[in-house]
Amino acid sequence: MFIIVFNLGFVYLFLIYLQGFTTKHIVNPMRTYVKLSAVLMGSHGLTKGSLAYLNYPAQIMFKSTKVLPVMIMGAFIPGLRRKYPVHEYISAFLLVLGLILFTLADAHMSPNFSMIGIMMITGALIMDAFLGNLQEAIFTMNPETTQMEMLFCSTVVGLPFLFVPMVLTGEVFRAWTACAQHPYVYGVLVFEAMATFIGQVSVLSLIALFGAATTALITTARKGVTLLLSYLIFTKPLTEQHGSGLLLIAMGIVLRMVPLDSKPPTKIPSRPAVRIAGGEGDREEEEERKSLV
């Protein structure tokens, strides 16, 4: 699992180089990305590793709940301190429940739970909750940060986090031997990395524009749309459970779009609105920035 993420990193760096990005475009200190990179690599590794212990329905059930911990964790991230109205939590819950019902109706087997797999996917969810909010905090505290900088720095800092477990587990040697015996695997990995790169840039753009929670809602809804399109294209039969899932997904999306509250998600007040140069407000803002690194 680590070798796949390791391969993604090198392809990312090559694609970023083709975009004309250089270290001169970096506006944040590299230490800002240490926590972010550790969480990013841990999330990717645990998610892919859990596939060895959980079948598809079980993993989808867990991953579909991502939006809820993302919203909850937003209140505790320094420099962000997001809080959301109650109807947005209800919207997220309906969306998650609907997607789980739809996925299980589509599955030809029951969820297969393994304690190791559950621990791995739970760890990945916790890291995902930190990841999106940390990215939003960096974009918020320094609006000059670009998506290319975020990808470049998190990849450069994150790759060393993967090298040690790859060597200790012996995966790097097994993967090297397997790829040498089946060279086509290199092409598959590169193609996957290129597709993932486009997805990562899109997700970072959404986070920068709309925030981590809204992005998590969009990616969760995308899963439902993808499943629905598969039924329309391949003319699969829809059951009552499919209909219930679609209804809950639609209710969640509509509830999220209806302006029940004219105020957008706000930051939890953590310092005075009026700041005096050199005063307490400046010191508290500096503490917020330090806590990210």
- pLDDT at site 204: 92
Give per-residue burial for 260-285: e unless 16+ CB within 10 Å, then b.
eeeeebeeeeebeeeeeeeeeeeeee
Mean pLDDT of 12-34: 89
The model's pLDDT over 217-237, given as tens digits with 9 standing for 90+, comes to: 888 878 777 777 777 777 777
Mean pLDDT of 199-225: 87
Mean pLDDT of 2-25: 82
- pLDDT at site 148: 93
- The dihedral through the CA atoms of 25, 29, 34, 36 has a sign that is negative
Report whether 199 contacts 131 (CB < 8 A).
no
* Nearest C-alpha neighbor of 152 from the set 24, 266, 287: 24
CA angle at 119 for the pair 116 and 121, rounded to the nearest 5°: 105
Domain parsing of the chain, residue ranges: 2-290
- pLDDT at site 254: 82
Mean pLDDT of 72-87: 80
On the question of pLDDT at 4 being above 60, the answer is yes
On average, the pLDDT of the chain sits at 79
The model's pLDDT over 50-65, given as tens digits with 9 standing for 90+, comes to: 888 877 667 777 877 8
Both structure tokens of 173: 């040697």
The model's pLDDT over 167-186, given as tens digits with 9 standing for 90+, comes to: 787 777 787 788 788 888 88
- pLDDT at site 190: 86
- pLDDT at site 26: 92
User: What does residue 82 show for φ and ψ, rounded to 5 degrees?
Assistant: -80, 145
- pLDDT at site 289: 57
User: How many CB atoms lie under 10 A from the CB of residue 244?
Assistant: 15
- pLDDT at site 144: 92
What pTM does this model have?
0.74
Report whether 45 contacts 5 (CB < 8 A).
yes
The model's pLDDT over 133-177, given as tens digits with 9 standing for 90+, comes to: 999 999 988 899 999 999 999 888 888 877 777 778 777 778 778
Q: How confident is the model at residue 207 (pLDDT cuts 50, 70, 90)?
A: very high
